[in-house]
């Protein structure tokens, strides 16, 4: 997978590798440019996923642990992601039939649900803990 220059800069920022001048230029943009903020959020989610799943390179893992996990909020976010990975993610792809007697959502009886709550739940948990905690 090819990573564009912007995503590479965001990864460097999140891993504490971005030059100080570039970091100083990026941070105010995150407060005024929703698109850029959402892009950083997406890259951050990918990094957390990669870390929790053990898919991160050794070098990135070391940087992630020394920089990103220095924040108590980030440690909590990773702990939540790990919890979701062990409880929800193994069920990905399983289809659950909902009977008319026990609907998961009122009015949705009989609708088959695909359990893919991991990204939504992780994002909601993170959003509630201060999105810009790393700034």
pLDDT tens across the length of the chain (135 residues): 445 788 899 999 999 999 999 999 999 998 999 999 999 999 999 999 999 999 999 999 999 999 999 999 999 999 999 888 888 755 554 544 444 444 443 433 333 333 334 444 444 444 444 444 444
48: three-class secondary structure by DSSP: helix
* CA–CA separation, 31 and 9 (whole Å): 17
Greatest extent of the chain over all pairs of C-alpha atoms, in Å: 60
Label the pairing between strands 113-114 and 95-96. Answer: antiparallel
Ranges of each domain in the chain: 1-70, 72-130
The predicted structure's pLDDT at residue 123: 47
């Amino acid at each position: 997978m090819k990573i564009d220059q912007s995503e590479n800069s965001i990864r460097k920022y999140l891993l504490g590798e971005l030059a100080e001048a570039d970091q100083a230029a990026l941070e105010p943009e995150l407060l005024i440019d929703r698109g850029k903020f959402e892009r950083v959020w997406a890259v951050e989610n990918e990094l957390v996923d990669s870390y929790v799943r053990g898919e991160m390179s050794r070098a990135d893992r070391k940087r992630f642990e020394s920089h990103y996990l220095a924040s108590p909020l980030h440690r909590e976010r990773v702990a939540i992601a790990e919890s979701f990975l062990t409880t929800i993610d193994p069920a990905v792809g399983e289809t659950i039939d909902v009977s008319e007697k026990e609907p998961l959502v009122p009015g949705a009886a009989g609708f088959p649900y695909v359990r893919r709550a991991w990204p939504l739940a992780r994002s909601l948990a993170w959003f509630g803990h201060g999105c810009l905690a790393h700034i």
